[in-house]
Structure 1
Amino acid sequence: MIKRIRYARLTLTLLVLALFAHLIMPVSHVKASEHGCGPSCSHYNVVLIGSEIEGIMLAKAAHDEGLSVLILDPREKPGGEFIQGQMQVLDQPNDNHKHSLVQGEIKKLYDDYHSRKIRSNEQFTRYFNQLIQGIPMRSGITMGKLNINAAKQEKSIQSLTYQAKDGLSYNVQADYWVENTDFAALTSKLRVKRIPGLESAFRGKKPEYMAATLMLKFKQVDWNKLHQEVLNNYPLTNVDKKYGPGTYVDWDYGTGFSNLTSQYKPTAPDLMLRGINTTYLSKGKVIMNALLLYEVDPSNPQSVQAAVAKGKKEAPLILKFLRSHIPGYAKAELDGFPDYLYIRDYNRFETEYVLDYEDVMSSKMYWDNVSIGGYAVDLQGTKRVPKGMNLGKPDRYGLPLRSFELKAYDNVLVAGKNVGADGKAYGSARIMPTTALAAQTIGVILGHELKSKRLKELTPADFKRIDAYMRKDYHIKLS
């Protein structure tokens, strides 16, 4: 009898412990089969499609908060335009009092960039690799079937079948899916409404997109000579008159010289050399964001490859021009090429709230702010309007969570350049540190709130609490 009582007590104890263990088990450890995904399916809290750096900030924040995260990248190599395209000329949003608006994880990059600790592609790559450390990633995947639940008022993605480089097919399920490519690899498959793009600002009838860029790299540049040449022509009114509006050179950056670069005649009508927009790296090496390529389709690998090849073919002619026309470039040489492009703009799809130009210019703030913007409304050109336009410099304004929640779906988020903004507002909202901050904030919110609430269930009262812990724990101010 005593043995039976002891056995019963032991059994009861084990059952209690098992129940307690189940209750405290992190969401990331729940088996896929418990979510109805099937024995061959893996479940994650967050699945990120694409490896652009903005969404990586969301992945890192969610992972650091204890959520399970998977990155599936349709590109052959990780890093997107930041690493493969070497878009490493870092623009900075600021308010009208010249206060920087760069916050959060991305500020570490900017601080090291300004102190010259990070300038080379190798250094940027190390920084990127640190962000994804511990997060599983598969590059070169092929998107397959999406299993969508349309039973409710808002649809939801239940699972995705994809093919990996090993030729095998895999199934994955997630609580949240994040569009983080520069060609809408996920959202373009969901039959949602496209936000009118640049054609709405340029009064066109067909969809238009800002030009892409092939970053140009040079060595043996005499930066001191370039800098001194500008100083010799001060004040700035004289510099602008001689070299073009906005011409400026300090020990790190060089912009402008449009009066000179406008004299360059490209070999094809879908190319343009704009002002030099250059960062000085070190020891005579620079990287230049200046060669525009029009009508590149980032969803078409052949279009991207053709544009890269065209830019590489044009580069020696640009070098010859720079040697003859730009101070400090007389002995310059090309210093290799990136494998990919800087894609500024592509299809964006309706979010719960779509930012417009008035929102940006009126410094509008929101109860669900996840980032603060302040960059100029810079609309780069298209083939039809090659020089683009600048529509003014806003003061600080808010970007709401709703501008990153895909409309009509309750578990699809967008990151980076997929932000819900109209053709004009996008000219400002697209800047990397602005959308990177939003992505990090969303990742943190998922980590804090997912066990009790869906994102679309959050209220103004919840955001007062969210704002408090973002300030306290992350030193991020969202209001």
Structure 2
Amino acid sequence: MKKWIVVMMIAFFILTTEGCDDWKVSSSLDGDDLGQAGHPARIVVSSNPKELGYQVVVVGAEPEGIAAAVSAARNGLKTVLVDPRDRVGGLYTVGWLNTLDMNYRSKKTREVVNKGIFSEFQRRLGGDVAFNIPTAQRAFEDMLKEAGVKVLLEASDLKPIMEGNNVRGIAFKRKGRAYRALGQVVIDSTQDADIAAMCGAPYKFGREDLGFPGEIGATTLVFSVKNVNWRRVVSYLQSDKNPYSGATDRSAWGYEVMFKAPTKDPHIQIRGLNAGRQKDGTVVINALQIFHLNPLDKEEKREAVERAKAELPGIIEFMRKNAPGFENVELAGVAPELYVRESRHIEGEYTLTAEDVFENRNQGMAVAFGSYPIDLQAREKGQTGSALNGTNPYGIPLGVMVPKKVDGLLVASRSASYDTVAHGSARTVPVGMALGQAAGVAAKLAIEKNVSFRKMAHSYEMIQEIRAILTKQGVDLTPIKVENPEIKSWAYPYIQRLRDKAMLSKEYDNDYRLNEAATTKTFRRMFILINYNSPLKINMHALDGFDLNQPIAGRDYIQILNRILGSDYGDYKELLEEKIIDETTYRQVRKRLEFLTNAEAYALVDGLVRYMEKGKG
């Protein structure tokens, strides 16, 4: 009887105190009742929302969000990280991307530009480029716990709490209870900038600025296989004479033969393999591409996963027959989530552009650096990706994280304010983690100085203060000098216009080879990029009869152009009169009876593109 009375008294105490002191920020919020990383949460059922008081609320346990939360907490701010999944790590632990897209200072060095929290994370993984997925999850959990970040997983119905245009926190449900996490700063690190969009922040979607509204680059279903002969994989890829193949003890890239693997679905293909070996002997493969998918539609994503899984038996069979080292391979599993590279592009106080990347701009005002090659994934089946440059360091200003029309919010994710071409480099996780670290520092200053992020983004003094704090915390923001000899060329304006639209590549060695003879290959590469990355269509048969490495003379180009336009122009004077070329180009090529240079080829194709864009081609 006494035991029953004691139980009743405890129950009465819980019921009477629930909704009283717990509505305030108190020591009870620091215990296990809300679920520290790795600890189960106490389930409380109540119709009244429980208010939680924090200084920084981070939404999205992606690597970028983890970096933001750790940074904010290390800077002395009471921080909570909220995510709907059952684990932290996002793309790395749920999407199974297990290879780091490293951003180096130059193609000659392995020194990264993303020092700080990202480098710390990589060290915890063992310092390699490929990593073991469970190791990554433990590393993230440890970093969050050590920093004192409150982690609330399995949250649902996340919505921003707004006061006018100001974000005041996040409302959500978790384990049978409604919560309101109030904060002075909210950081949106969801993959798709979901919170920013719900707040009314303007954005573009996918390849909209390249003329493809509603379309995005390839989405990938990562899968794993077992029974791989890794020694044979390394031996084959290190000796296949393909400069784009290679392998180490942990990772491998190559097997372009996989492009030929048949798939029945009209919107699914497999490309060359990017593979990473796990500690349990399985190999994780990033290669199975899905096209024409809306990543904001949950049901569409679910259906896409099932369609992709249906293709895997045939792909595995093809792999056994055509990929040395995979002769006995079997499917081991598929990632719980799709690897989505692109969706929203938030419109921020600053938009990182293609020219910012190509010209290595913003280094003196950067709060983060990037340098990954611009890698535009294919848009549809049958296409390969578009690599527009090689390693190329550039700075990223704070303004890319500050959405227009919304205050109190930073967007630290791949959906920050980048144009499509710049996004091809800046979307990589190491860059996002660097931005996350900067977001934590910016939050500290915004709270201490009672200043908006919008004002901060346009203040030279405050940006320098952020940079100074980041430097003290191990981030290297020293400007990196880069030589861009093409800037001095007469053809530079044409180069800029083409590459800004993803129609010209300087290849991985960052050399336009301006003074070398233009060959059929020069034009073929540009024509493919135009067809891939713009609504314009150039008939590739225009190059029929020309050997791939054949230098192209001035009269040859007129023949090629006539095939494209269905015209009958006889000389460059006529092209000038029809405004297919301009006066500067005409002066360069009018006497060119011998081979064109690459510089002249770029100017000629730029003129053709502009002519076709006017609807005259």
1:196 touches 1:423 (CA, 8 Å); kept in 2?
no
2:205 touches 2:343 (CA, 8 Å); kept in 1?
no
Structure 2 counterpart of 1:305 = 302
Secondary structure of the corresponding residue to residue 348 of structure 1: strand
Is 1:110 aligned with 2:107? Answer: no
Q: Output the CA distance in 2 between the equivalents of 1:425 and 1:373.
A: 10
Is 1:440 aligned with 2:464? Answer: no
1:52 touches 1:181 (CA, 8 Å); kept in 2?
yes
Q: Output the CA distance in 2 between the equivalents of 1:199 and 1:217.
A: 33
Q: Output the CA distance in 1 between the equivalents of 2:350 and 2:26.
A: 33
Structure 1 counterpart of 2:567 = none
Structure 1 counterpart of 2:247 = 249
Structure 1 counterpart of 2:53 = 43
Structure 2 counterpart of 1:287 = 284
Same amino acid, percent of matched pairs: 24
User: How much has 1:439 moved relative to structure 2?
Assistant: 0.8
Q: Output the CA distance in 2 between the equivalents of 1:272 and 1:419.
A: 28
Q: Output the CA distance in 2 between the equivalents of 1:475 and 1:145.
A: 33
Structure 1 counterpart of 2:141 = 129
1:367 touches 1:460 (CA, 8 Å); kept in 2?
no
Is 1:466 aligned with 2:466? Answer: yes
Between 170-179 and 352-361, report the one with greater CA deviation: 170-179
Structure 2 counterpart of 1:344 = 341
User: How much has 1:385 moved relative to structure 2?
Assistant: 7.3
1:369 touches 1:478 (CA, 8 Å); kept in 2?
no
> What pairs up with 1:412-423 in 2 under 5 angstroms?
412-423=409-420
Q: Output the CA distance in 2 between the equivalents of 1:352 and 1:191.
A: 15
Structure 2 counterpart of 1:216 = 223
User: How much has 1:437 moved relative to structure 2?
Assistant: 0.8
2:161 touches 2:168 (CA, 8 Å); kept in 1?
yes
Structure 2 counterpart of 1:35 = none
User: How much has 1:397 moved relative to structure 2?
Assistant: 0.4
Secondary structure of the corresponding residue to residue 424 of structure 1: helix
> What pairs up with 1:326-475 in 2 under 5 angstroms?
326-383=323-380, 386-393=383-390, 395-448=392-445, 450-454=447-451, 455-458=453-456, 459-475=459-475
Secondary structure of the corresponding residue to residue 437 of structure 1: helix
- Deviations 1:29-71 (CA, angstroms, capped at 9, x unpaired): 89x9xxxxx9953222111122111111010111122211122
The runs of 5 or more residues in structure 2 that have no matched partner are: 1-24, 30-47, 480-617
Q: Which amino acid aligns with 2:469?
A: Y
Q: Which amino acid aligns with 2:237?
A: V
Q: Output the CA distance in 2 between the equivalents of 1:250 and 1:317.
A: 27
User: How much has 1:344 moved relative to structure 2?
Assistant: 0.7
Structure 1 counterpart of 2:234 = 227
Is 1:93 aligned with 2:107? Answer: no
Q: Which amino acid aligns with 2:228?
A: V
Residues 171 and 303 of structure 1: CA distance in aligned 2, closer, same or farther (over 3 Å):
same
RMSD of aligned residue pairs (Cα, Å):
2.8
Q: Output the CA distance in 2 between the equivalents of 1:147 and 1:110.
A: 35
Q: Output the CA distance in 1 between the equivalents of 2:179 and 2:280.
A: 48
Secondary structure of the corresponding residue to residue 204 of structure 2: coil
- Deviations 1:434-467 (CA, angstroms, capped at 9, x unpaired): 1101111221342355212423343322333433
Is 1:71 aligned with 2:81? Answer: yes
The count of residues paired between Structure 1 and Structure 2 equals 430
Equivalent of 1:56 in 58, 66, 71: 66
Residues 419 and 438 of structure 1: CA distance in aligned 2, closer, same or farther (over 3 Å):
same
Residues 467 and 247 of structure 1: CA distance in aligned 2, closer, same or farther (over 3 Å):
same
User: How much has 1:76 moved relative to structure 2?
Assistant: 5.1
- Deviations 1:168-211 (CA, angstroms, capped at 9, x unpaired): 3222322111211123321221223223532433x32x221122
Q: Output the CA distance in 1 between the equivalents of 2:220 and 2:156.
A: 26
User: How much has 1:294 moved relative to structure 2?
Assistant: 1.8
Residues 232 and 43 of structure 1: CA distance in aligned 2, closer, same or farther (over 3 Å):
closer
Between 396-405 and 313-322, report the one with greater CA deviation: 313-322
Structure 2 counterpart of 1:320 = 317
1:185 touches 1:299 (CA, 8 Å); kept in 2?
no
1:376 touches 1:394 (CA, 8 Å); kept in 2?
yes
Structure 2 counterpart of 1:10 = none
Residues 299 and 391 of structure 1: CA distance in aligned 2, closer, same or farther (over 3 Å):
same
Secondary structure of the corresponding residue to residue 306 of structure 1: helix
The runs of 5 or more residues in structure 1 that have no matched partner are: 1-27, 33-37, 234-238
1:45 touches 1:67 (CA, 8 Å); kept in 2?
yes
Structure 2 counterpart of 1:207 = 214
Q: Which amino acid aligns with 1:217?
A: S
Residues 39 and 119 of structure 1: CA distance in aligned 2, closer, same or farther (over 3 Å):
closer
Q: Which amino acid aligns with 2:337?
A: Y
Residues 366 and 353 of structure 1: CA distance in aligned 2, closer, same or farther (over 3 Å):
farther
